[in-house]
């Protein structure tokens, strides 16, 4: 399973897909162009920099990938999503790195979360 759930401010639990899917991302980009840039990062000799808006956008892309037909618009999602940078970073790296995804899923299993 490559999904987790996040809780929106209204208490609703929604799925987030933890595996970047370029085909789904291209479809999402039709009405959310920021999807194309959500997974860009600046890589230095010993560091990688991720823009906070990219973290936020990546969580939305993961949400949309898990909910391709019935979903909140970016604006609606933004009104209901309480951004947590630590959680967003875990989701971001889980989407682009298999080892990070496995570690994140193991952590969720230990905590008894989906």
What CA–CA distance (Å, rounded) separates 12 from 6? 8
Q: pTM for this structure?
A: 0.87
Q: Can you give the pLDDT at residue 101?
A: 86
52-66 vs 85-96: helix crossing angle, rounded to 10: 60
pLDDT by residue (tens digit) across 26-82?
999 999 999 988 887 655 666 667 788 989 999 999 999 999 999 999 999 999 999
Does 102 have pLDDT greater than 90? no
Q: What is the DSSP letter of 39?
A: T
């Amino acid at each position: 399973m490559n999904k987790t759930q996040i809780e929106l401010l209204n208490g609703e639990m929604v799925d987030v897909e933890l595996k970047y899917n370029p085909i789904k991302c291209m479809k999402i980009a039709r009405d959310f162009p920021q999807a194309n840039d959500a997974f860009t990062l600046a890589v230095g000799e010993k560091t990688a920099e991720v823009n906070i808006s990219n973290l936020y956008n990546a969580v939305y892309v993961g949400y949309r990938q898990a909910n391709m037909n019935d979903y909140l618009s970016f604006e609606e999602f933004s009104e209901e999503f309480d951004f947590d940078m630590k959680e967003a970073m875990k989701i971001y790296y889980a989407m682009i790195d298999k080892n990070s995804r496995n570690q994140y899923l193991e952590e969720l299993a230990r905590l008894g979360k989906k």
